[in-house]
Amino acid sequence: MSVMLECKSLSVRFDGLAALSDVTFRVQEGDLFGVIGPNGAGKTTLFNVISGTLRPTSGEVYFQGRRISGLAPGRICRLGIAGTFQPVRPFASLSVFENVLVGACFGRDRRGASKDSERHAHEALRFVGLESKADRIAQDLTPAEKKRLEIARALATDPQVILLDEVLSGLTQVETTEILALVRRIQDKGITAMLIEHVMRVVMELCGTVLVLHHGARLAQGTPQEVMNNPEVIEAYLG
């Protein structure tokens, strides 16, 4: 197993507020890497830095040994890191298929012929189980379908790392189970996944490694078991 992604002492400040401070960690290839922490801990901020939509105040991000912090988000996407948004941001008045096609056309490494892009988009839709809705307008989808759509759009870019920001929040029990199965299948494809999640049970079941953030700093990292038994983590969650 090799290192897929590495963050070295990342810090982000929003006028005075330290959203991330000195966060360092590594993500192994093929891992399902969980990021947990209370509200406002800096989880989304971390994802934004990795995907390039936010520049870190200091620190670097390395992807397969190559420095990517400072690159344009589109570049990073083409190199192989794609994600979902919190809250979801589909292209509202475009069809489901067109949403995914944007990822397939512009987010992939090589510029394939347009036929290929359409094939990739269809594949991604089939993978998440939305192909029957391909011609629907994105804003008419249910919340759960919108999350699937975002996952499909990210998958259509043929990523090596996928960033999933609270894809389970606000879903019913059944929908949660379905999306969880989807996340497993993504991992089975060999895609490294980073997952932000609040429900502990899910993290414990799915993730190989867990990073705990608290007030923007790394509180703990390790297997779910190690993290759960860490007294500081228990303190942060209870106190």
Partner 1 sequence: MMAGRRPSVSFSVAVFAVAAVFAVLPAMTVSYGLVWLFLVAVYLTLAVSYDIVGGTMGHMNLGHASFFGLGAYSTVILMNQGLSFWAAVALAVPVTVLFAALISYPFTRLTGAYFALGTFGLISLMNVLAHNLRDLTGGSGGISTPPGDRTVEAYYLAVIAAGATIALSRSIARSRFGLALRSIREDADTARAFGVPVDLYKCGALVISSAPAAFIGGVYAWKATYISPSSVFGLEIALSPIVMTMLGGSGTAAGPIVGVVFLTIAQELLWTRIPYLHLAMYGVIMVIIGLLMPGGIVRSRWFRRVMTRMGMSSRWMD
Ligand X SMILES: Nc1ncnc2c1ncn2[C@@H]1O[C@H](COP(=O)(O)OP(=O)(O)OP(=O)(O)O)[C@@H](O)[C@H]1O
232, two tokens: 């500081």
Contact flag: residue 89 with partner 1 (CB under 8 A): yes
Q: How far apart are CA 56 and CA 79, in angstroms?
A: 19
Contact flag: residue 44 with Mg ion (CB under 5 A): yes
Nearer to partner 1 among residue 25 and residue 91 (C-beta): 91
Contact flag: residue 98 with partner 1 (CB under 8 A): yes
Contact flag: residue 105 with partner 1 (CB under 8 A): yes
Q: Which does 67 bind (CB under 5 to 8 A by kind): Mg ion, partner 1, ligand X, none?
A: none
Contact flag: residue 74 with partner 1 (CB under 8 A): yes
User: Which range binds partner 1 by CB under 8 A, 98-106, 173-181, 184-192, 207-215?
Assistant: 98-106
Burial of 136 (0-12, 13-18, 19+ CB in 10 A): middle
Q: What is the nearest approach in angstroms of partner 1 to the Cβ of residue 110? A: 12
Q: What is the nearest approach in angstroms of partner 1 to the Cβ of residue 97? A: 7
Which amino acid is located at 10 in the chain? L
Q: How far apart are CA 124 and CA 204, in angstroms?
A: 27
Residue ranges that bind partner 1, judged by CB under 8 A: 51-53, 72-75, 77-78, 82-83, 85, 89, 91-95, 97-98, 101-103, 105-108, 114-115, 117-118, 135, 153, 157
> Which residue ranges make up the site for Mg ion (CB under 5 A)?
44, 86
